[in-house]
């Protein structure tokens, strides 16, 4: 298992490790473990070695190093990487020319000294929750190779959970950071809508898309978030406990026993005394479905008309259906979104943080068409986002944090939800859970 990002950066800055050594160990680990995991879709070896050499040269000269100097990372393959074709999980884009420049967030990671080692698997066009990509194969959960890593940023979560890289970048439209973070047992951050620039990332739903990081610790998550913001220093993680409430109602009714228990334990550890309801949750989720279908289908109309047979079978029918929705449905969904946002604002007048399960159940076997939730059978690909979609719809910042469970259970996490622009509140709450020993990233079995 490799070290965490903060430790690597400190060791490189202090001369205890060379960036080139860290990189070669990373590449060896990827070569040994990724064939079984299938998280990576491309490696950027020459670029990474050049970057590591330059960092080592700076260190030898005694020059100050940037905050993430020598830290390996990888990105979901919808981020532009100069010299690589941006695939967004689809073979339809394979014939496109390589990207001329890095995405904005890749540029910021480069400026922070991080070393890009490759791109990561995802659901085609980010439309899915399982990363069962029919073009390059599924990404497997590091804790259970026969199970899904979640999606659509499944490669990003699995690579971090398996210790291949300490940091990765993904995207979240309806839960695509929080779902795989929960199922793979790591930390993920969906920032406030619009907080991070999306330039150079392949879009899915313009009015819902978020981009953000994955990590194995809260310190690493905060350091990466700072780099993505273009800041030299991360947010201070120490502070007074926030006013916390647990979300009940919809979020209790649509969670299995393990998910409910995780949320209850997290809320209790954070000192929550109240359970409240976000009454617009079901309507917000429905609105997110409509907005996703309408905007996503419009983006891919040409693909639907000209290359339907080459598209991912798991998503093309949903995109085609979305193209037939009337404009009135889209307008109504946006109105519902506004009402839901106002309800959330009222909750945040009373509380700083809301706790909810991140996924209704833990990771399901690959190929599962449905899962059982309290005696009901629900379609897997549509419903792993049951608990994340209402929050995506209104753009709130969320840290997905793992919650320690009984031995033998697959990982499962919670959502730590804050008011717009209050990412620091969610990060500090995650740090409290981590220090209490409740948010623990488990070791994974060797899959080589």
Asked if 176 is an active-site residue, the reply is yes
Peptide bond into 24 cis (omega under 30): no
Asked if 152 is an active-site residue, the reply is yes
Mapped onto helix, strand or coil, the DSSP state of residue 189 is strand
Asked if 201 is an active-site residue, the reply is no
* Whether the Cβ atoms of residue 71 and residue 147 lie closer than 8 Å to each other: no
The catalytic residue among 90, 152, 297, 392 is: 152
* Whether the Cβ atoms of residue 5 and residue 221 lie closer than 8 Å to each other: no
* Whether the Cβ atoms of residue 27 and residue 117 lie closer than 8 Å to each other: yes
Q: Residues near 98 by Cβ (< 8 Å), separated by ≥ 6?
A: 82, 83, 84, 85
* Separation between Cα atoms, residue 264 and residue 269, nearest integer Å: 9
* Separation between Cα atoms, residue 422 and residue 364, nearest integer Å: 32
The catalytic residue among 51, 76, 90, 171 is: 76
For residue 333, give both structure tokens. Answer: 């969904």
The catalytic residue among 90, 148, 153, 176 is: 176
Conformational region of residue 86, where left means phi above 0, alpha means psi within -120 to 50, and beta covers everything else: beta
Select from 310, 307, 280, 316 the least CA-distant residue to 393.
280
Please name the helix (run of DSSP H) or strand (run of DSSP E) that holds residue 304, with its range, or none: helix 301-306
Which one-letter DSSP state was computed for residue 429? H
Which one-letter DSSP state was computed for residue 409? P
Select from 177, 216, 155 the least CA-distant residue to 30.
155
Catalytic residue list? 76, 152, 176
């Amino acid at each position: 298992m490799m070290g965490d990002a903060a430790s690597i950066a400190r060791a490189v800055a202090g001369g205890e490790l060379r960036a080139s050594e860290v990189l070669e160990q990373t590449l060896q680990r990827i070569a040994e473990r990724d064939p079984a995991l299938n998280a990576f879709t491309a490696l950027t070896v020459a670029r990474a070695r050049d970057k590591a050499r330059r960092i080592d040269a700076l260190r030898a000269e005694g020059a100050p190093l940037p905050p993430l100097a020598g830290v390996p990372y990888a990105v979901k393959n919808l981020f532009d990487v100069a010299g690589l074709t941006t695939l967004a999980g689809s073979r339809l884009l394979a014939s496109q020319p390589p990207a001329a420049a890095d995405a904005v967030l890749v540029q910021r990671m480069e400026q922070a000294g991080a070393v890009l080692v490759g791109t990561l698997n995802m659901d085609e066009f980010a439309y899915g929750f399982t990363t069962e990509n029919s073009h390059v194969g599924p990404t497997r959960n590091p804790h259970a190779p026969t199970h899904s890593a979640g999606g659509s940023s499944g490669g990003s979560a699995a690579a971090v959970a398996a210790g291949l890289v300490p940091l990765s970048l993904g995207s979240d439209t309806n839960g695509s950071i929080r779902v795989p973070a929960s199922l793979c047992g790591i930390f993920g951050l969906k920032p406030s809508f619009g907080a991070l620039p999306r330039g150079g990332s392949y879009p899915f739903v313009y009015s819902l898309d978020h981009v953000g990081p994955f990590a194995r610790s809260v310190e690493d998550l905060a350091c990466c978030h700072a780099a993505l913001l273009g800041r030299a220093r991360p947010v201070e993680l120490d502070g007074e406990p926030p006013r916390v409430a647990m979300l009940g109602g919809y979020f209790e009714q649509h969670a299995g026993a393990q998910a409910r228990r995780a949320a209850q334990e997290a809320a209790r550890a954070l000192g929550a005394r109240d359970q409240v309801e976000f009454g617009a949750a079901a309507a917000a989720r429905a609105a997110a479905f409509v907005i996703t279908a309408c905007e996503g289908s419009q983006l891919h109309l040409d693909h639907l008309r000209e290359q339907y047979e080459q598209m991912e079978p798991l998503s093309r029918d949903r995109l085609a259906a979305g193209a037939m929705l009337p404009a009135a449905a889209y307008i109504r969904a946006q109105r519902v979104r506004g009402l839901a946002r106002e309800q959330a604002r009222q909750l945040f007048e009373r509380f700083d943080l809301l706790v909810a399960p991140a996924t209704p159940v833990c990771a399901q076997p690959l190929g599962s068409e449905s899962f059982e939730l309290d005696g009901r059978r629900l379609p897997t690909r549509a419903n792993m986002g049951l608990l994340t979609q209402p929050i995506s719809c209104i753009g709130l910042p969320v840290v997905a944090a793992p919650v320690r469970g009984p031995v033998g259970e697959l990982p499962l996490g919670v959502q730590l939800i804050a008011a717009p622009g209050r990412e620091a509140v969610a990060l500090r709450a995650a740090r409290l859970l981590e220090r209490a020993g409740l948010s623990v990233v488990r070791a994974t079995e060797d899959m080589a």
